[in-house]
Structure 1
Amino acid sequence: MMKKAMRISTLFSFSLLLPILVFGAIPSPKQVLGFEPGEDFKLASWDEILKYFDVLQSSSENVKVIELGKSTLGRKFIMALISSKENIENIDQIRKIQKKLHDPRTTSPEEAKELVKKGKAIIAFTCSIHSTEIASSLFSMRLAYWLASSNSPEVKEILENIVLILVPSLNPDGIDMVVDWYRKYLNTPYEASQMPWLYHYYAGHDNNRDWFMVALKETEIMTKVYYHEWFPLLIWDIHQMGQNGPRLFLPPYYDPINPNIDPLLWRELNLLCSEAVLELTKAGKKGVATNAIFDGWYNSANRSAPLRHNAIGILSEAASANLASPVFLRPQNLSSRGRGIYDLNLTQSSYLEPWEGGWWRIGDIIEYEEIVAKTFLKRIAREKERYMLNYYEFARRQIEKGKNEPPYAYLIPLEQRDIPTTLKLIDVIQKGGGEVWRAKKSFKAEGVNFPEGTFIIPLSQPYRAFIKDLLEVKVYPERRVGGALEYPYDEATWTLPLQMGVKVFESNQPINVEMEILPHGFKIKGKVTGKPSSYLTLSGRSNNEIILLMRSIKNNFKAYYIKENQPPYKKGTIFIENRDPKTLTKWVEELGISASWAEKNPKDLIPVKGKPGLYKPFIPNMDEGWTRLVFENFEIPYESLNNSKIRAGDFKNLTSIILPPMNAKSIIEGRSSQDVPPEYSGGIGMEGVSNLKEFVRNGGTLITMGSSSEFPIEYFGIKVTNVLKEDREKPPEKREFFAPGSILLTDSTGSIITFGLPDEIPIFYNEEPVFDSKEGNAVLKFPDFNPILSGILRGESLIKGKSPLLEVPYGKGKIFMFGFDVIHRAQAHGTFRLLFNALIY
Structure 2
Amino acid sequence: MLSILLFLLIFSHLNAENKAQKLKAQNIGKIETPAEHFGFEPGADRMLFDYEELIDYLQKLDNASTRLKLTEIGNSPMGKKMYIAFISSEKNIKSLNKLKDINRKLALNPNIPEPNRDSLLNKGKVFFLATLSMHSDEIGPSQSAPLVAYDLVTTEDSQKREWLDNVVLMMVPCHNPDGMNMVVNNYKKYKGTKYEGTQMPGIYHKYTGHDNNRDFITLTQEDNRNIARIYNKDWFPQIMVEKHQMFSNSVRYSVPPAHDPIAENIDAGIWNWSKIIGANIATDLTKQGLHGISQNYFYDEYAPFFSSSSTWKNVTSFLTEAASVKYATPIFIEPTELKGYGKGLSEYKKSINMPSPWPGGWWRLSDIVSYEKASIMSVLKTASLHRHEILKFRNDLCIKEVSNGKTIPPYYYIIPLKQHDESEFVNLVHLLKQHGVHIYQLNKPVVLDEKTYQKGDIIIPLSQPFRPFIKEVLERQKFPVRHYTPGGKVIKPYDATSWSLPLHMGVKVDEIKNPYSEVLDSAYVEIKEIFKLVTEDIPHDFEAAVFTVQNNESFKAAFLGLQLGLKVARLTKAANISSRTLAKGSFIIYNNADKISSFKTLIDEINVPPIYISNLSKVESSTMKIPKIALVESWLHDMDAGWTRFIFDSYHLPFKTVRPGDFEKTDFTKDFDVVVFPNNRKSVLMSGKIKTRSGELIIPNFPPEYTKGIGKKGMTKLMSFAENGGIIISWGNSSNLFQGILEIKQENNTKEEFQLPYKNISKILKTSGLYCPGSILKIDLLNDHPITLGMKSETGIFYNGGPVFATSIPNFDMDRRVIGKFPEKNILLSGYCEKEEVLSNKTCLVWLKKGKGQLVLFGFNPQFRASTNTSFKLLFNSILLSKIND
- For the aligned pair, the TM-score class normalised by the smaller chain equals over 0.9
Unpaired runs of at least 5, structure 1 = 1-17
Deviation at 1:78, TM superposition (A): 1.1
Q: Is the 8 A contact 1:430 1:520 kept in 2?
A: no
| The one of 592, 611, 623 aligned to 2:640 | 623
Deviation at 1:22, TM superposition (A): 5.8
Q: Is the 8 A contact 1:748 1:781 kept in 2?
A: yes
The residue correspondences of 1:763-782 to structure 2 (distance < 5 A) are 763-774=797-808, 775-782=815-822
1:318 is matched with: 322
Q: Is the 8 A contact 1:768 1:820 kept in 2?
A: yes
The residue correspondences of 1:635-784 to structure 2 (distance < 5 A) are 635-651=652-668, 652-671=670-689, 675-714=701-740, 716=742, 717-728=755-766, 730=767, 736-750=769-783, 751-774=785-808, 775-784=815-824
2:291 is matched with: 286
Give the secondary structure class of the aligned counterpart of 2:332: strand
Q: Is the 8 A contact 1:526 1:589 kept in 2?
A: no
Deviation at 1:20, TM superposition (A): 12
Structure 1 residues 144 and 629: CA distance shift in structure 2, 3 A: same
Q: Is the 8 A contact 1:538 1:596 kept in 2?
A: no
The residue correspondences of 1:171-570 to structure 2 (distance < 5 A) are 171-303=176-308, 305-344=309-348, 346-479=349-482, 485-511=490-516, 512=520, 513-526=522-535, 536-561=545-570, 570=583
Q: Is the 8 A contact 2:88 2:167 kept in 1?
A: yes
Q: Is the 8 A contact 1:724 1:798 kept in 2?
A: no
Deviation at 1:533, TM superposition (A): 7.5
Letter of the 1:804 counterpart: C
Structure 1 residues 583 and 138: CA distance shift in structure 2, 3 A: closer
Task: Tell me if 1:82 matches 2:87.
Answer: yes
Moved more, 483-492 or 737-746: 483-492
Give the secondary structure class of the aligned counterpart of 2:494: coil
Q: Is the 8 A contact 2:27 2:65 kept in 1?
A: no
| The one of 92, 97, 105 aligned to 1:100 | 105
Q: Is the 8 A contact 2:148 2:373 kept in 1?
A: yes
Structure 1 residues 572 and 529: CA distance shift in structure 2, 3 A: farther
Deviation at 1:294, TM superposition (A): 0.7
**Alignment partners' CA distance in 1, 2:168 and 2:24:** 29
Structure 1 residues 556 and 375: CA distance shift in structure 2, 3 A: closer
Aligned length: 817
Give the secondary structure class of the aligned counterpart of 1:817: strand
Deviation at 1:391, TM superposition (A): 1.2
Give the secondary structure class of the aligned counterpart of 1:544: helix
Letter of the 1:335 counterpart: K
Give the secondary structure class of the aligned counterpart of 2:865: coil
Q: Is the 8 A contact 1:588 1:595 kept in 2?
A: no
Structure 1 residues 556 and 27: CA distance shift in structure 2, 3 A: closer
TM-score normalised by structure 1 residue count: 0.93
**Alignment partners' CA distance in 1, 2:650 and 2:582:** 28
2:585 is matched with: 572
Give the secondary structure class of the aligned counterpart of 2:219: coil
The residue correspondences of 1:114-133 to structure 2 (distance < 5 A) are 114-133=119-138
2:825 is matched with: 785
Q: Is the 8 A contact 1:723 1:798 kept in 2?
A: no
Task: Describe the superposition over 1:780-811 as per-residue Cα deviations: whole angstroms up to 9, x where unpaired.
Answer: 11111131000112222322111211111122
Structure 1 residues 20 and 454: CA distance shift in structure 2, 3 A: closer
**Alignment partners' CA distance in 2, 1:23 and 1:575:** 66
**Alignment partners' CA distance in 2, 1:527 and 1:417:** 21
**Alignment partners' CA distance in 2, 1:22 and 1:787:** 67
Structure 1 residues 585 and 172: CA distance shift in structure 2, 3 A: closer
Q: Is the 8 A contact 2:562 2:625 kept in 1?
A: no
**Alignment partners' CA distance in 2, 1:654 and 1:446:** 54
Deviation at 1:535, TM superposition (A): 5.5
Give the secondary structure class of the aligned counterpart of 1:414: coil
Deviation at 1:154, TM superposition (A): 1.1
**Alignment partners' CA distance in 1, 2:428 and 2:391:** 31
Deviation at 1:337, TM superposition (A): 2.4
Letter of the 1:276 counterpart: I
Q: Is the 8 A contact 1:782 1:801 kept in 2?
A: yes
Deviation at 1:485, TM superposition (A): 4.7
TM-score normalised by structure 2 residue count: 0.88
1:9 is matched with: none
Q: Percent of counterpart pairs with the same letter?
A: 31
Deviation at 1:545, TM superposition (A): 0.7
Q: Is the 8 A contact 1:538 1:573 kept in 2?
A: yes
Moved more, 93-102 or 112-121: 112-121
Moved more, 29-38 or 524-533: 524-533
Task: Describe the superposition over 1:750-796 as per-residue Cα deviations: whole angstroms up to 9, x where unpaired.
Answer: 12211111111111111111111124111111111131000112222
Structure 1 residues 819 and 528: CA distance shift in structure 2, 3 A: farther
Task: Tell me if 1:170 matches 2:175.
Answer: yes
Q: Is the 8 A contact 1:233 1:311 kept in 2?
A: yes
Structure 1 residues 529 and 126: CA distance shift in structure 2, 3 A: closer
Structure 1 residues 534 and 686: CA distance shift in structure 2, 3 A: farther
**Alignment partners' CA distance in 2, 1:104 and 1:573:** 47
Give the secondary structure class of the aligned counterpart of 1:825: helix
Letter of the 2:856 counterpart: F
**Alignment partners' CA distance in 2, 1:448 and 1:109:** 41
**Alignment partners' CA distance in 2, 1:576 and 1:23:** 64
Task: Describe the superposition over 1:501-552 as per-residue Cα deviations: whole angstroms up to 9, x where unpaired.
Answer: 0010011112414211112521124569999776654431111111211122
Structure 1 residues 116 and 19: CA distance shift in structure 2, 3 A: closer
* Root-mean-square deviation over aligned CA pairs: 2.4
Q: Is the 8 A contact 1:723 1:771 kept in 2?
A: yes
**Alignment partners' CA distance in 2, 1:677 and 1:811:** 39
**Alignment partners' CA distance in 1, 2:585 and 2:636:** 36
Letter of the 1:548 counterpart: A
Task: Describe the superposition over 1:206-245 as per-residue Cα deviations: whole angstroms up to 9, x where unpaired.
Answer: 1111112111111111111222111100011111001012
Q: Is the 8 A contact 2:398 2:465 kept in 1?
A: yes
Give the secondary structure class of the aligned counterpart of 1:35: coil
Give the secondary structure class of the aligned counterpart of 1:363: helix
Letter of the 1:658 counterpart: V
